């Protein structure tokens, strides 16, 4: 009896041992599913461990970024480039009619000379500027030529001037260039120092005819337009000069004839032989 029970137990053990193999043969390959362990979240997001020093390179929200002061080259004192002739004249305490007409075609070029001493509330002894020449292109301020008072700048070196102007306009450059200085004489002078950006330029100069310093500031866009207009105006003046001379001579002859005829009639009535 005992032997029979042992035989049955052996058979059952063999059957149970072969069961996994039998089941595996009955399962199709397409039904096999492999369950892999999930990857760590940090790998799924593509993140890498950060070195403490790398944290310094994180971008700062613009709303919290510090405000960097930029020097304003769009104006000289209270006068911004692009301002109308009427506004500049009012600011300077002058009449617009004081502006001088330089060219009328193909664009209107005007100039207005201003002495700061005439500005309301200014002191004659306080200002280092002797005169500012404003130039307008079709009524817009495109250039300012500053003539400094020779007595208020006497003894000042080039470095003194550059340092003082840099306080308002930032770091200067020293270009090896010349610029037109439309003062008493239109002359080409060396640029001592320059302050500029993409839109505006200020140039410290010194005339060979004057012992004092000067500065030429302009709007690059308007100055380019004004230069082209002046070049065309001069070309037209040269081209039309002969015809204008003929017309001038003709007008002179007509006026002379009228005067002579008037005198003839008066003398004829009063003449006695």
pLDDT tens track for 191-211: 999 999 999 999 999 887 777
The pLDDT score that the predictor gives to residue 207 is 81
| Cα separation, 256 vs 250, whole angstroms | 10
Q: From residue 61, give the alpha-carbon distance in Å to each of 47, 51, 179.
A: 21, 21, 44
The answer, yes or no, to whether the previous bond of 24 is cis (omega within 30 of 0) is no
Handedness of CA 240, 242, 243, 244 (dihedral sign): positive
The pLDDT score that the predictor gives to residue 9 is 53
Cα-Cα-Cα-Cα dihedral of 76, 77, 78, 83, to 10°? 0
190: β partners: 178
Residues of the chain with pLDDT > 90: what percent? 50
Closest CA relative to residue 97, chosen from 82, 106, 86, 107: 86
Handedness of CA 62, 67, 70, 76 (dihedral sign): positive
* pTM confidence score: 0.66
The pLDDT score that the predictor gives to residue 188 is 87
């Amino acid at each position: 009896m005992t032997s029979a029970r042992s035989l049955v137990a052996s058979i059952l053990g063999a059957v149970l041992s072969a069961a996994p193999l039998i089941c595996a043969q009955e399962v199709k390959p397409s039904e096999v599913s492999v369950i892999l362990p999930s990857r760590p979240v940090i790998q799924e997001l593509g993140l890498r461990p950060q070195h403490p020093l790398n944290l310094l390179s994180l971008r700062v929200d613009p709303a919290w970024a510090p405000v960097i002061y930029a020097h304003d080259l769009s104006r000289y004192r209270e006068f911004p480039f692009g301002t109308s002739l009427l506004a500049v004249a009012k600011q300077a305490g002058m009449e617009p009619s004081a502006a001088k007409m330089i060219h009328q075609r193909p664009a209107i070029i005007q100039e207005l000379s201003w002495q700061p001493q005439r500005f309301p509330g200014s002191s004659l002894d306080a200002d280092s500027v002797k005169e500012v020449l404003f130039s307008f292109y079709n009524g817009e301020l495109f250039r300012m030529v500053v003539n400094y008072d020779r007595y208020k700048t006497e003894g000042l070196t080039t470095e003194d001037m550059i340092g003082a102007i840099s306080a308002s306009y930032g770091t200067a450059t020293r270009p090896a260039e010349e610029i037109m200085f439309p003062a008493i004489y239109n002359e080409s002078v060396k640029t001592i120092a320059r302050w500029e950006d993409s839109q505006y330029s200020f140039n410290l100069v010194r005339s060979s005819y004057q012992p004092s310093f000067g500065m030429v500031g302009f709007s690059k866009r308007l100055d380019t337009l004004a230069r082209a207009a002046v070049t065309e105006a001069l070309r037209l003046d040269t081209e039309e000069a002969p015809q204008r001379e003929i017309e001038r001579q003709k007008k002179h002859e007509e006026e002379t004839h009228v005067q002579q005829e008037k005198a003839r009639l008066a003398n004829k009535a009063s003449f006695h032989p």
